[in-house]
Amino acid sequence: MASTLLELSKLISSSVATVDARCRTLSLKYPDLANPANPQGNEALAHDREIAAATSVALAAAAQLMASMQDPSRALIETSRGFALSSAMGAVNESATAEIIREAGPKGCHINDIAKKNGMDPLKIGRHQSTNSSRLLRLLATQHIFREVSPDVFAHNRISILLDTGKSSQEIFAKPEDKYHGAKGIGALVGLNTDETYKAAAYIQDVVVNPERAAAEGRGLLAMNRAYNTEGSFFSLYDRPENLARFKRFGMAMNADRMLDPHSIVLKGFKWGALPAGALVVDVGGGVGSTSLEIARANPHLRFVVQDLPSVTLEGKEYWAREYPDALTGGIVSLQAHSFLTPQPVKDASVFLVRAVLHNWSDANASKILKNLRDAAQPTTQLVVLERIASLVCEEDASYAHITGAVLLAPPAPLLANLGVMFPYLMDIQARHHSTLLLWDGIERTFPHHWKLFKEAGWEIAHVYRNPGVMDQIIAKPV
């Protein structure tokens, strides 16, 4: 019998061969890590189902091989020092370094020239200050974020280019609070993660190990409360005048977060085309309606109501007037101011669509949202929920196997049952549940957790569509 190491290496080899063969079938080349401007269409390969499946196995096997072969003490120490990576990325992101390097061209930019533009100490940007220590860009380049093309000269790669807003560095320095307005890339989301979230993360131990002490002191129970010396909610931070730039960045960060999943993912699963002409889809907490827009373009026979708070609804009208004006004038879509924590006013919906809402709320509030929809549902109304389903690290609970898609097929041995995918768990820590963690009262849920939540709110899950690496779809019917 082959050793675990050989089994893992074979999984890597076979998965890479599958990806290569699929690329040749599609007449596309897999994106080059060193190239920040890969040919159009190549990045879309990540959403090809065959490539996504093979990639997930390759990544899981590679990570497990590294963990198996790495010295255990080094693994623990390097993980405990992960804060240095977040610190470096945050400083680089907020100093317009990505824009300065892009402006220098493909040959890269010397750290002295970066410092001339953003005023940072070149010693702290890139050079060794003492033996065995490294600084910002070199640390990131070691993680394959940026490239050191010659001594102290750094250039972009496929990963680092996503920090670039596309704006000029001078424009950013002139009005830093508007850095992310209309920007490219996902720098706003990185900024949120390496600033508010990162600072709050330093206090996780306090609120997890000693929550009673925090309560006794009359302070809020979130790590954020300790980091910012406040008793209010996370969003109360943005009421402070000094946090105007953070407030603006947060809005852009949420837009960037939606970019991580293609809007078209909503079309892969639930059969929108099977709904009868004139069927009404209510997009609950739908923002400006970008998800409904995707469905409407592919299914013009449907009608839509997009619900959100009044200020968002006003933005939504401008959005649809720009993106699909005929939908507004032709009565295909209407935008309605409504809070999903209050009773649902629409009583004749064919489908309630809820995308990336429930994970932002505690079980109590998520249950209230679902119950409000159940109270307004007809016997034939369907519920379509888009959320990431957090998988267990051990074998899935087979008692849910009668629900199509609820239980994932076991990956090839010896891989972890969840393929080592960390994203849902990182999101779960960034959110907070049972007064223990970081920013707000939300949770990333496993399927059994979803099942219990839906059942108690009067919905029965009928089908699950899994989308590796992006949002899953949960289809439910009224009990």
Active-site residue numbers? 359
| DSSP assignment of 89-129 | HHHHHHTTHHHHHHHH-TT-EEHHHHHHHH---HHHHTS-S
Whole-number Å distance between alpha carbons of 411 and 394:
11
Whole-number Å distance between alpha carbons of 439 and 427:
11
| DSSP assignment of 381-447 | -EEEEEEPPPPPSS---GGGTTSBTTSPPPPSTTS-TTTT--HHHHHHHHS-STT-SSSSS-----H
Contacts of 260 (CB under 8 A, 6+ apart): 186, 470
CB-based burial label for 156 (10 Å; 0-12, 13-18, 19+): buried
Dig out the tokens for 410 from the structure.
């076991």
Whole-number Å distance between alpha carbons of 189 and 273:
34
Please give the single-letter amino acid code of residue 278. G
CB-based burial label for 314 (10 Å; 0-12, 13-18, 19+): middle
At residue 32, the 3 state secondary structure works out as: coil
Count of other CB atoms within 10 angstroms of residue 235: 11
Whole-number Å distance between alpha carbons of 31 and 33:
6
Q: What is the dihedral of CA 29, 34, 40, 41, to 10 degrees?
A: 40
Whole-number Å distance between alpha carbons of 139 and 137:
5
The CA angle 284-289-294, to the nearest 5 degrees, is 110
Contact between 422 and 60 under an 8 Å Cβ cutoff? The reply is no
